[in-house]
Amino acid sequence: MVKTVLGKLLLGLLLVVLVFVGFSTALAQDEGSAVTVSAENLPQAIADAKPGDAIEVTGGIFTGHLDIDKPVTLIGIDWPVIDGENNGTVVNLTAPGITMRGFIIRNSGQVLDQENSGIAIQAADITIENNRFENTLFGVYAKNGHNAVIRNNVITSKDLDLPRRGDPIRIWYSQDVLIEGNEITKGRDVVLWYSERVTVRDNEVSDGRYGLHFMYCDDATIEYNTLLDNSVGAFFMYSRRVTVQHNTIAGNRGPSGYGVGMKDMDDAIIRENIFLDNRVGVHLDTSPREVDSFGRYDGNVFAYNDIGVGMMPSVRRNEFSNNSFVDNEEQVAVGGGGQLKGNIWSVNGQGNYWSDYAGYDADDDGTGDLVYKSDRLFENLMQREPSLRLFLYSPATNAIDFSAKAFPIVRPQPKVEDEFPLMTPQIPTEAPQMPQATGETWFIFAVVFTAMALALVLLPRLTRKRYIFPQPETQA
Amino acid sequence: MLDFENILVLTQKELYDARRNRWFMLYAVAFTGLALGLAYMALSGAGNYGLAGFGRTSASLINLVLLIVPLMGLTLGALSLAGEREKGTLMYLMAQPISQAELLLGKFVGLSLALIAALGIGFGLTAFAIALNGGSAEIDTYLILMGFAVVLAVASLSLGFLISAAVQRGSTAIGLALFLWLLLVFFGDLGLMGTALVLQLDVQQLFLAALVNPLQLFKIAAISGIRSNLEVLGPAGVYAFRTYGSALLPLLLGLLLLWVIIPLLLATYLFKKRGVL
């Protein structure tokens, strides 16, 4: 009896001691020693630092290249500058656990095949946060940088022709990376290759070539991003189980011009995104690839694109439900013609909204009573002869469609049949809002032009007494 | 020689007459109403997504301009000389000490200004609608669209004058104008599409053939002004943009201006030859 009580007491004491020791060592590690230096003295400060130290850098400009090979935390205050003098990579991070926060990284070299970067990550657990990248060819380049966090940075490339710029962010063989809240503009591609479980959230990527470019990236999550005015919004290739949700993807109109392009993608889920004013909203090529896999498109808006969803003729096993197809020049297009028979356009009695649906909803259940068929004759002709696209917007195209309605003998086979078309569009609420313009200049224009036009009509009335032909000189 | 004071007086008379011309008023009201309606529909849909859907508005406006503006220009032009000739007022006008060229030019300038005023009211009020819906950053593309619409209006007016100078009766002139309108708006494009399908025209041939039609000139110019490239028009558009690049817009504008000048010169020639009867 006594023995057991004593035993418990001893055990309790041991636990208390262990916890205390644990705490104190943790505290000791956390504190480290915080040094405060100016940017010019950074290399010395890093050389002097012990692993786990924090170095506060208060302003200043460090010119040259920085190699950090121990786990330290660099905190920039008043935007200290690291300037690579237009030569090579500016900052090399070669030890795991480094954090860099609040720096301006500028002037890398511009040799593309050496991948001159602002920051090169070559180890795991590195955090790059709140930095600005100016005139760097590549921004952040992570190779084998597992668990990297790249957050709230502002990244541009050099002012070069598009193909000669570098990638604002490149993730290469790096698992579990988080890319969040970055503002990326005028780069080439944000590249994520051979990296699993990447999360890309809340970023804005604009005026680049490929907004996001994924290859061999299984289990990636892409959400709440704005992909604006790139050549291609996001291109996904050879990956499985990718989730793309709540993104706004607009104005991507380059040579490929896809909002989202899918090539050999299995089990992808594309949910509640807004695809706006792209050349092609979503482009599908051999996706899904494997027999037992699927592609799921639910609750997206495809509005004002030249083509809402474009598919290659052999694409099948995709499910479309609750999407809204609003005024795309072509709602669904098939490259080279065909019928898209193997795809499902309604799931469990939930179809999609089609702005060109001409049916009715007599029983008032929100679902149209007639099947929606996409069978415009002019679209069919365009697929046979793509150069006829030259006549887009021409009233003659409406005449052709009208004739196909009047004379069913020339009506083509429908590309898409939706048995449960929705009567009202469904708008995703969580995707980022597009920037709003103000109407002021429009008001000025409207007032000026209406006034000028009215003046043109009224002026002759006011000057009517001039309405006499001058007398010929011979009579004078 | 042309006396510009005479032309100015005739221009004023024509502008004054335009206000009493029921056709002109009908077209002006119809164009304004339809443009407003289209802008409202395009924008109220777009408003749901928190964006200015002006790309869509301009696309529908292109369609509207293609349909109505040639109709306005052709019929007003066709009625101008032939109508007065039929009423006998043309003889009275020509009894004044003015030359035939002065009369024709005065009428042409006056009606052109009237058309510009009609388009100005239409585009101006539509801009109000766009402004009320939160506007859009793309006002320059709207101005480009309007500018080309004005040139198209003047070009079709010039064609109308050609018809008017050539025929005697107002009804014949209107009939011819409507036929020409159908030809330009529908049959020309339909024929070219059929030809392209049957003869397998390559993109260069197709593009050059399309340029014969002033409506296509307007459409391609308006789109390249709005989009800053022609990818929307498929392979032929890409071909045109790659081949002509930044020279494309001046080229299209130049061709469109030829459609203004040549029919007008021909009309002057015919009018001089035919006289007031």
CB A232 within 8 A of CB A258: yes
Taking contacts as CB-CB distances below 8 angstroms, the residues of chain B near A280 are none
Going by pLDDT thresholds of 50, 70 and 90, the confidence category of residue B151 is very high
Going by pLDDT thresholds of 50, 70 and 90, the confidence category of residue A409 is confident
Residue type at position A385? E
CB B232 within 8 A of CB A306: yes
Q: Is residue B1 part of a domain?
A: no
- Considering only CB atoms, A467 lies closest to which of B9, B42, B202, namely B9
Instruction: Check residues B83 and A472 and name the one with the higher pLDDT.
Output: B83
Q: Is residue A19 part of a domain?
A: no
Q: Is residue A466 part of a domain?
A: no
CB A50 within 8 A of CB A32: yes
- The dihedral built from the CA positions of residue A237, A239, A240 and A244, taken in this order, carries a sign that is negative
**CA nearest A308: which of A286, A343, A282, A288?**
A282
**pLDDT for position B179:** 96
Given phi > 0 = left and psi -120 to 50 = alpha, else beta, which region is A434? beta
Taking CA atoms, what residue in B is nearest to A446?
B124
The H or E element that residue B227 is part of is helix B214-227
Using the 8-state DSSP alphabet, how is residue A85 labeled?
Answer: T
Q: Is residue B2 part of a domain?
A: no
**pLDDT for position A476:** 44
d(CA B42, CA B10): 41
The range of the structural domain enclosing residue B156 comes to: 7-274
Q: What's the gap in Å between the CA of B6 and the closest CA on chain A?
A: 7
Going by pLDDT thresholds of 50, 70 and 90, the confidence category of residue B56 is low
- Considering only CB atoms, B207 lies closest to which of A355, A381, A390, namely A390
Lowest mean pLDDT among A30-44, A391-405, B85-99, B249-263: A30-44
Q: Is residue B98 part of a domain?
A: yes
**pLDDT for position A144:** 95
Residue contact B16–A387, C-beta within 8 A: no
Average pLDDT for A251-260: 88
d(CA A231, CA A210): 6
d(CA A210, CA A368): 38
Residue type at position A417? E
Residue contact A393–B63, C-beta within 8 A: yes
Mutation site, B193, B197, B243, interface A, largest A CB count within 10 A: B193
Max Cα–Cα distance, chain B, nearest Å: 63
* Domain harbouring A229, CATH code: 2.160.20.10
- Considering only CB atoms, A467 lies closest to which of B13, B97, B229, namely B13
* pLDDT at A296 > cutoff 90: yes
Q: Is residue A468 part of a domain?
A: no
CB A413 within 8 A of CB A341: no
Residue contact B134–A438, C-beta within 8 A: yes
* pLDDT at A107 > cutoff 70: yes
* pLDDT at A435 > cutoff 70: no
Going by pLDDT thresholds of 50, 70 and 90, the confidence category of residue A28 is very low
Q: Is residue A16 part of a domain?
A: no
Structure tokens, B145: 């669209």
**pLDDT for position B260:** 96
Mean pLDDT rounded to a whole number for chain A = 88
CB A101 within 8 A of CB A129: yes
Q: Is residue A370 part of a domain?
A: no
Give CA A273 to chain center in angstroms: 10
Q: Is residue A460 part of a domain?
A: no
- Considering only CB atoms, B15 lies closest to which of A449, A454, A457, namely A457
* pLDDT at B50 > cutoff 50: no
β partners of residue A73: A54, A99
Residue contact A387–B97, C-beta within 8 A: no
* pLDDT at A430 > cutoff 60: yes
b/e per residue A256-284 (b: at least 16 CB within 10 A) = bbbbbbbbbbbbbebbbbbbbbbbbbbbb
Going by pLDDT thresholds of 50, 70 and 90, the confidence category of residue A94 is very high
Question: Between the CA of residue A21 and those of A18, A27, A53, B52, B197, what are the distances in Å?
Answer: 5, 10, 21, 62, 85
Residue with tokens 């004739």: A403
Going by pLDDT thresholds of 50, 70 and 90, the confidence category of residue A29 is very low
Q: What's the gap in Å between the CA of B147 and the closest CA on chain A?
A: 12
Give CA A181 to chain center in angstroms: 12
* pLDDT at B17 > cutoff 90: no
d(CA A101, CA A72): 11
Render pLDDT for B64-101 as a digit per residue (tens, 0 to 9).
999 999 999 999 999 999 988 888 888 888 888 888 89
**pLDDT for position A331:** 92
Taking contacts as CB-CB distances below 8 angstroms, the residues of chain B near A390 are 206-207, 210, 233-234, 236-237
Residue contact A388–B196, C-beta within 8 A: yes
| Pairs across A and B, CB distance < 8 A | 213
Residue contact B53–A303, C-beta within 8 A: yes
Q: Is residue B261 part of a domain?
A: yes
Residue contact B206–A390, C-beta within 8 A: yes
Render pLDDT for A10-24 as a digit per residue (tens, 0 to 9).
666 666 666 665 555
Give CA A195 to chain center in angstroms: 18
Render pLDDT for A225-249 as a digit per residue (tens, 0 to 9).
999 999 999 999 999 999 999 999 9
Q: Is residue B99 part of a domain?
A: yes
β partners of residue A342: none
Instruction: Check residues B28 and A475 and name the one with the higher pLDDT.
Output: B28
Structure tokens, A1: 């009896």
How big is the CA angle at A40 (ends A36 and A46), to the nearest 5 degrees? 60
Instruction: Check residues A242 and B60 and name the one with the higher pLDDT.
Output: A242
Q: Is residue A375 part of a domain?
A: no
Mutation site, A377, A387, A473, interface B, largest B CB count within 10 A: A387
Domain count, chain B: 1
d(CA B264, CA A345): 56
Complex confidence, ipTM: 0.87
* pLDDT at A459 > cutoff 70: no
Give CA A72 to chain center in angstroms: 32
The range of the structural domain enclosing residue A58 comes to: 34-355
**pLDDT for position B226:** 78
- Considering only CB atoms, B190 lies closest to which of A255, A396, A442, namely A396
Taking contacts as CB-CB distances below 8 angstroms, the residues of chain A near B42 are 327
Q: What's the gap in Å between the CA of B267 and the closest CA on chain A?
A: 24
Going by pLDDT thresholds of 50, 70 and 90, the confidence category of residue A146 is very high
d(CA A46, CA A9): 47
**pLDDT for position A188:** 94
Q: What's the gap in Å between the CA of B5 and the closest CA on chain A?
A: 8
d(CA B209, CA B189): 10
Taking contacts as CB-CB distances below 8 angstroms, the residues of chain B near A304 are 46, 53, 55-56
Average pLDDT for A420-432: 89
The most confident of the ranges A216-220, B57-61, B218-222 is A216-220
Residue type at position B28? A
Average pLDDT for A176-191: 96
Going by pLDDT thresholds of 50, 70 and 90, the confidence category of residue A448 is confident
Render pLDDT for B163-193 as a digit per residue (tens, 0 to 9).
999 998 889 999 999 999 999 999 999 999 9
Domain count, chain A: 1
Residue contact B12–A253, C-beta within 8 A: no
Query: Cβ–Cβ contacts within 10 Å for residue B270, how many?
Result: 18
**CA nearest A90: which of A60, A51, A121?**
A121
Q: What's the gap in Å between the CA of B80 and the closest CA on chain A?
A: 18
- The dihedral built from the CA positions of residue A150, A71, A117 and A143, taken in this order, carries a sign that is negative
Residue contact B233–A253, C-beta within 8 A: no
Q: Is residue B121 part of a domain?
A: yes
Q: Is residue A48 part of a domain?
A: yes
Mutation site, B29, B67, B232, interface A, largest A CB count within 10 A: B232
Lowest mean pLDDT among A32-36, A333-337, B12-16: A32-36
Structure tokens, A163: 């193909």
